[in-house]
Amino acid sequence: MSLNIEPFERGFGAYVRGVDFSKPVSDALHDELIDAFGTHHILSFPDQHGLGTDEVVAASRVFGPEMEPHVFTQYHHPDEPLVMVLSNRLKGDKPAGLKDAGSFWHSDVAYKPEPAKATMLYALEVPDVGGDTLFCDLTAAYDDLSDTMKARLDGLKAWHFYAHQKRDLFETGQVQSPPECLHPVVRTNPISGRKAIYITPSYTVRIDGLPEDESDQLMQEIFEHCLQDKYRMDYHWHTGDVLVWDNAAVMHTATTKNLDPSKHRTLWRTIISGGPTF
């Protein structure tokens, strides 16, 4: 089967058919997928049933050779620490995985000097209703800024901190957050060369060099612009979906915080490492 790319209706992201991640990806197919990734920012590969952890790791490495385990070590897959289990199921009286991977707008691993290039999720079980992942196109949001705002943001940097978003794991000391790190407010995508806004409501603490009130006001203005409906997309999961997204181009939020606990959702998650943002 030849590669078929069908853009999502909402203007960013695409379904990709003609890929079987249970088999090795050829060099030619790899190049096509990287081109599609740079163009669409989010790629969905439906009907990838029966994948094991080795195959999910191999699929992840199509989008970058270096990977890293998540800092929440208690949710690593028992057979493969590069795979994190997201699940609202219980094994006896203990969680089978991390129930809520982040029901707040963020970009993965933006709290480290070298944030994640990409994130991959593989759906083992999902409910018919609920548990969707929402995305926001920060590339299109940047493109639509006024020239005045683009000039204002040019050269600015912002501080990011994992524990800026309050979570029980931080409050109880189960996980220690890395120290604050600095990234540009506008980031140039290493794949496409396009610019995108690179601050998020959850991890960005303040804009460097600005008074607190001015920083807060500017960030609020940017977030209100980015989170307009025209830049947002709701991804509804199906069992067997493999989804990969570009953290330099989009931010996302889970919705599992509000998921009915009787509706089971289990996904595997991997992090494809990136390089420095400047």
Interval 198-223 mean pLDDT: 97
Q: What is the pLDDT of residues 211-261, one digit of tens each?
A: 999 999 999 999 999 999 999 999 999 999 999 999 999 999 999 999 999
Separation CA 277–CA 183 (nearest Å): 6
pTM here?
Answer: 0.95
Assign 276 a pLDDT band (cuts: 50, 70, 90): confident
Q: In the prediction, which pLDDT does 11 show?
A: 77
pLDDT more than 70, % of the chain: 96
Residue ranges per structural domain of the chain? 4-273
Q: pLDDT at position 169, please? A: 63
Coil, strand or helix at 164: helix
Assigned superfamily of 4-273: Clavaminate synthase-like (3.60.130.10)
**105 exposure class (CB count in 10 Å sphere: 0-12, 13-18, 19+):** buried
| Banded model confidence at residue 177, pLDDT cuts 50, 70, 90 | confident
* CB distance 84 to 98 below 8 Å: yes
User: How does DSSP assign 90-128, residue by residue?
Assistant: EETTEESSBS-S-SS-B-TTTTSSS-EEEEEEEEEE--S
pLDDT for position 245: 98
pLDDT of residue 234: 96
| Residue 175 predicted with pLDDT over 80 | no
d(CA 7, CA 3): 13
> In terms of Cα–Cα distance, which of 197, 37, 189 is closest to 120?
37
Q: Which two tokens stand for residue 12?
A: 């960013």
Beta bridge partners of 182: 159
If you average pLDDT over every residue of the chain, what do you get? 94
Q: Which residue has the higher pLDDT, 177 or 215?
A: 215
**CA 258 to each of CA 86, 91, 130, 146: distance values in angstroms, whole numbers, following the listed order:** 15, 21, 8, 36
User: What does the pLDDT read at residue 17?
Assistant: 96
pLDDT score at 173:
66
Question: Residues of the chain with pLDDT > 90: what percent?
Answer: 87
Query: Does the pLDDT at position 1 exceed 60?
Result: no
Average pLDDT of span 128-155: 97
The reported pLDDT for the residue numbered 163 is 83
Residue of 242 and 2 predicted with greater confidence: 242
DSSP state of 198: -
Confidence of residue 176 (pLDDT cuts 50, 70, 90): confident
Mean pLDDT of 167-192: 84
- Measured CA to CA, the distance from residue 60 to residue 269 in angstroms comes to 10
pLDDT at 277: 86
Per residue, the 3-state secondary structure of 126-156, as one string, reads CCCCCCCEEEEEHHHHHHCCCHHHHHHHCCC
At 268, the pLDDT band (50, 70, 90 cuts) reads: very high
